[in-house]
Structure 1
């Protein structure tokens, strides 16, 4: 009799656990998807060991974004994140515009994986504006349409879209102040975010202000891929690149994005 009572109790307990679990989300991690271009990309994930052998010290800011999410920073993002853990899933790739990111199926892969409460940070514009590279060029009206699509479909999955204007390049400088190189693409991203009432981080302006504060001489050699021959084995002839980041620059931009997220209302 005792054995039967014990079995009934265990069966009842099992049923209770199953019923309860049906009403409790197993979700305990918020995934932050990054979609964009080379300035955002994580070269170590899609190039693997070849990254150290071929591309280092080149870094996108998404490559160091995960390390910023300690308990204190996650706590400061409770208006966006409802979990205690964050996983950054960087899907950005070099040379991609809004159109090519979509056409290659990269967006559909993100869309399939999205869950309610996830975040999608989208930063395009560098390659969309490349008129001399027709394989990636997108006029501003097309650029806006693709951002609208990314925002709308993110919301369809119960996730949160955040539009980022493109991080500024290391030019043009005038009288010690960095100017806006992205022009109408910066404006287009701002306009779509306002139109759709989506969160916006004006990374163009934030990076212009931060780089100006540091000064042209500093950011040119500490933030961007500018160095003499022989400094890095992967670049025996040196580098003169005012678009892509060294590790210090990538970390500085990642911090700007985190601060932008913290300030979203």
Structure 2
């Protein structure tokens, strides 16, 4: 199932120590949990902003096209997917992570019914393969929602399972960010997990003079942790990262 992704990354990784191989471009298609933030939104941070740090300098180029508030439907309708695809070349990697906005049925401007969500993801995968690039599917990251017993409450309904099913059916590499992020939040617990999100007291930051309690968007600390979770999952798939090849460290 993972042969195309494995081959692309191993070939790149094994060549890196021997000569100055051109960097691999990693394109990001997703929502606010992954995107680059505007200055007025800081310290809100998308985990995609820390992705390049998971690789040795000069070995990858991250093209972060993720955008706040976008679902698979609006990413398509606004032309963002076509623009990403236009810039994708053979050998590139495209990370695809949606779900937060697709499942927001109370927000008709972005809501995408489950069947359409699965169909859109399938189109993304097919389009990337047409460009002789490698698609990677990601489940959405968890929101910080706990019940009275201190247990994390899933908040994406059946959407993550649609991603998992598509990955299995189409032989696409899957990074299960929902499960990994859920484990991180559960381990941190109700109080300590606040530091991973945009939780600020009044007067703590000029952008939020009244404070903010946002359990969806990450703080820099949370974004960095999610990027590390991505890298750990990548390794668990049996893919050699450039850093591992350069150091000779076994996986």
After TM superposition, is the score higher than 0.5?
yes
C-alpha displacement at 1:233, in angstroms? 0.7
Partner of 1:205: 179
5 Å matches for 1:128-147? 128-147=102-121
**Distance in structure 2 (CA, Å) of the matches to 1:158 and 1:110:** 14
C-alpha displacement at 1:96, in angstroms? 0.2
Deviating above 2 A after TM superposition, structure 1's stretches of 4 or more consecutive aligned residues are 172-177
Asked whether 1:170 is paired with 2:144, we answer yes
Asked whether 1:125 is paired with 2:111, we answer no
Aligned residue pair count: 219
Asked whether 1:68 is paired with 2:42, we answer no
Asked whether 1:159 is paired with 2:133, we answer yes
Asked whether 1:28 is paired with 2:22, we answer yes
Partner of 1:110: 84
Among 223, 231, 247, which residue is 2:196 paired with?
223
C-alpha displacement at 1:174, in angstroms? 5.2
Q: What secondary structure sits across from 2:158 in the alignment?
A: helix
**Distance in structure 2 (CA, Å) of the matches to 1:177 and 1:162:** 29
Q: What secondary structure sits across from 1:249 in the alignment?
A: helix
Higher relative contact order (CA 8 A, sep 6+): 2
Q: Which structure's CA Rg is the greater one?
A: 1
Contact 1:120 1:160 in 2 (8 A): yes
Give the TM-score, by structure 2 length: 0.84
Runs of 5+ consecutive residues of structure 1 not aligned to the other structure: 1-25, 72-83
What is the root-mean-square deviation of aligned Cα atoms in Å?
Answer: 1.5
Q: Deviations over 1:64-91 (max 9, x none)?
A: 21122127xxxxxxxxxxxx71111100
Q: Deviations over 1:209-244 (max 9, x none)?
A: 111112221111x10111211000110010011000
C-alpha displacement at 1:260, in angstroms? 1.4
Q: Judging changes above 3 Å, is the alpha-carbon distance between structure 1 residues 154 and 174 closer, same or farther for their aligned structure 2 residues?
A: farther
